[in-house]
Amino acid sequence: MIIIGERINGMFKDIGEALRNKDPKPFQHWALKQQEGGAHYLDVNSGPAVPTEERPEAYKWMVNVIQEVSDLPLCLDSTNYDAIEEGLKLCKRPAMINSCPAERAKIERVFPMAVQYNASLIGLTMDKKGIPKDAENRVAFAMELVAAADEFGLPMEELYIDPLILPVNVAQEHAPEVLESLRQIKTLANPAPRTVLGLSNVSQKSPDRHLINRTYLAMAMAVGLDAAIVDANDDALVDAAATAQILLNKSIYADSYLKVFRTR
Amino acid sequence: MPVTLVKEKYPSKVGEVVLGATAAEGGTRTSVIRVGGDGTLPFLQFEGSVENRPIIAMEVTDIVPPWNDTIKEQFGDVLGNPVAMAKKCVEEFGADAIYLKLIGADPEGENRSPEQCAQVVKDVLAAVGVPLIVVGCEDPEKDNEVMAAVAEAAAGENLLIGLAEQDNYKSITAAAMVHKHNVIARSPLDINICKQLNILINEMGLPLNKIVIDPMIGGLGFGIEYAYSIMERARLGALAGDKMLSMPMICTVGYEANRAKEANVGAGEFPGWGELQDRGILWEAVTAAALLQVGASILLMRNPASVRLVQRNIADMMEQNA
């Protein structure tokens, strides 16, 4: 299970302010703290903190300040592909691009960029019309992303398909559809593409967010989830991920498996 | 239609352990030996790097060993003289390393003192230039004293010392850390205990590249398939990135193979089994050859005739197949 730490995001007040003031401290603090929690990648998202035209510069700055303290690979999270490309140029370890929907114009921009920079790529099962309701249409978009990987020469193991989970309090019927999508996505190619979820979305504006998150994580892992963008400092969630990994026989059991999951 | 060679890509590899130390490194060995380091399944050079060939360490005992006559005859009058025995193993039989078993320490037997045992180790170190693997008599309490004395007396030689087990690993690990030796971590045919033991030893502060896994193999016909599958699983784990299973593996081939009746009784008793001479040699050699196929890095062997066969097998397997 690949844990992508979600905390370095301009939507959080401390990160947004720090980005505007060019203060590296909160970035470095969260990089280290998430690494300690068990993160394998660090998501990096400027949020709305800087205007669009300044985002390429902002991503360069963020990548540099984070890499000063952490060796973790980065997951560059933006819809501004110029900003992502500036970040990719500076990444010391192969990064992840977050993300590309199943829209032809964007596929043509992003897939070759992933190949050029040896990066992984998160593909979203949606297009301009939005997120489909059922598994069938999600999987149809996933197939387009798989075909694009083949077309542009992106190794299938570097493609992470995100079937897009929505909040359970307002879009409850999506949760089982996403599970079914995950199951089917793993059958689309051999080797199979990988799968990822922006997990915290499932519990937006619900009480007991941590409980909902980790329960859904375990359910999703059982049907083939490979990675999740989560709160890496939610210890109960990381414990659930480690335990699910053991119960799926993906890593060999030892009494200290919770600790081993966090060391590398 | 052309045939494409299927090549597995592994994200990680087996850790490399260095045995012995030369004068420049604070020891007195004439050369060091590296084991492990492979980035692929055993001998599959076409899909990954095979860094180091497996080695054979021959068993030398501090007192006359309770072995059968077909093996003893090959050693002649050096039995009971560890210095002469070690020299013969290296010079005549081509052993890569010496596996010194201090069976004389056994409280039920000669009950030699830790100081006497340490002296034997020093004598063997002075006699041969290859790295040494040293274990006690398998009495846990006595071994803790013996191995502490050995580790101190051989400080700087970068020995491989044993045995650390799940309920008795602290003192030997501490001795290895203080005097900079490597440790054998032994688990009873159990991959989960194997992994946990490595974690516990590592938590004490001994680096992962100072640990060697002893899966406690069974000999041919006596549980070798359990060891075989566990070793394969450990190797696959190491290649998949499981750091706590990424140590090279050591196998007590000579001890296990020669416990079998098939390696000890003559054709007079079991006519259907044929001559003991050949059977005994093959029992140990086949045990070793099977374990080489699942990633054994260090073979602890006894019968010189079996050693010769396995040396040829290793040389053949190491031929380039990329």
User: Are the C-beta atoms of A101 and A126 separated by less than 8 Å?
Assistant: yes
How far apart are the C-alpha atoms of B281 and A226, rounded to whole Å?
49
pLDDT at residue B64 is higher than 70: yes
Inspect the interface and report whether the beta carbons of A252 and B196 lie closer than 8 Å: no
A215 burial level (CB within 10 Å; 0-12, 13-18, 19+): middle
Nearest CA in chain A to B234: A252
**Average pLDDT value for residue range B35-50:** 96
How far apart are the C-alpha atoms of B114 and B163, rounded to whole Å?
16
Output the pLDDT for position B208. Answer: 97
Q: What is the pLDDT of residues B214-231, one digit of tens each?
A: 999 999 999 999 999 999
Assign residue B128 a region (left: φ > 0; alpha: ψ between -120 and 50; beta: otherwise): beta
pLDDT at residue B83 is higher than 80: yes
Output the pLDDT for position A140. Answer: 98
Q: What is the pLDDT of residues A79-102, one digit of tens each?
A: 999 999 999 999 999 999 999 999
Q: Which positions ≥6 away from B17 have C-beta within 8 Å?
A: B34, B35, B36, B160, B182, B209, B210, B211, B212, B247, B248, B297
Output the pLDDT for position B200. Answer: 98
For residue A176, how far is the Cα from the chain centroid? 20
Assign residue A55 a region (left: φ > 0; alpha: ψ between -120 and 50; beta: otherwise): alpha
pLDDT at residue A73 is higher than 80: yes
**Percent with pLDDT over 90 in chain A:** 98
**Average pLDDT value for residue range A101-105:** 97
Output the pLDDT for position B321. Answer: 85
In this prediction the pTM is: 0.92
**Average pLDDT value for residue range B15-38:** 97
CB pairs under 8 A between A and B: 27
- Which candidate in B167, B194, B244 is best for mutational testing of the A interface (most A CBs within 10 A)? B244
Sorting pLDDT into bands at 50, 70 and 90, what band is A264?
low
DSSP reduced 3-state for B143 = helix
Q: What is the pLDDT of residues B159-183, one digit of tens each?
A: 999 999 999 999 999 999 999 999 9
**Average pLDDT value for residue range A149-163:** 98
Bridging pattern class, strands B296-301 and B249-251: parallel
Output the pLDDT for position A225. Answer: 98
User: Are the C-beta atoms of B96 and B41 separated by less than 8 Å?
Assistant: no
Interface of B with A (CB under 8 A): 191-192, 195-196, 199-200, 233, 237, 242-245
Output the pLDDT for position B124. Answer: 98
DSSP B180: T
To the nearest 5 percent, what fractions of chain A are helix, strand and coil? Answer: 50, 15, 35
The CATH number of domain B54-316, selected from 3.30.450.20, 3.30.390.50, 1.10.10.10, 3.20.20.20: 3.20.20.20
H helix or E strand, kind and range, residue B172: helix B170-179
How high is the mean pLDDT of chain B?
97
Q: Other C-beta atoms within 10 Å of B315: how many? A: 10
Q: Where are the domains of chain B?
A: 54-316
Nearest CA in chain B to A252: B192
Partners of residue B192 in chain A, C-beta under 8 Å? 252-255
- Which candidate in B191, B193, B195 is best for mutational testing of the A interface (most A CBs within 10 A)? B195
The shortest CB-CB distance from B192 to any of A252, A259, A263 is to A252
H helix or E strand, kind and range, residue B182: strand B182-186
How far apart are the C-alpha atoms of B107 and B105, rounded to whole Å?
6
How far apart are the C-alpha atoms of B215 and B212, rounded to whole Å?
10
Sorting pLDDT into bands at 50, 70 and 90, what band is B307?
very high
Bridge partners, B184 (sequence order)? B212
For residue A19, how far is the Cα from the chain centroid? 21
Residue B97 C-alpha, separation from nearest chain A C-alpha, in angstroms? 32
Sorting pLDDT into bands at 50, 70 and 90, what band is A49?
confident
The shortest CB-CB distance from A255 to any of B191, B196, B237 is to B196
Residue A199 C-alpha, separation from nearest chain B C-alpha, in angstroms? 25
Q: Other C-beta atoms within 10 Å of A22: how many? A: 9
Q: What is the pLDDT of residues B261-302, one digit of tens each?
A: 999 999 999 999 999 999 999 999 999 999 999 999 999 999
Output the pLDDT for position A263. Answer: 82
Partners of residue A260 in chain B, C-beta under 8 Å? 195, 199, 244
Inspect the interface and report whether the beta carbons of B192 and A254 lie closer than 8 Å: yes
**Average pLDDT value for residue range A131-154:** 97
For residue A264, how far is the Cα from the chain centroid? 20
Partners of residue A264 in chain B, C-beta under 8 Å? 243
User: Are the C-beta atoms of B127 and B140 separated by less than 8 Å?
Assistant: no
H helix or E strand, kind and range, residue A103: none
Q: DSSP readout, B303-318?
A: -HHHHHHHHHHHHHHT
**Residue A94 to residues A90, A97, A108, Cα–Cα distance (Å):** 10, 10, 20
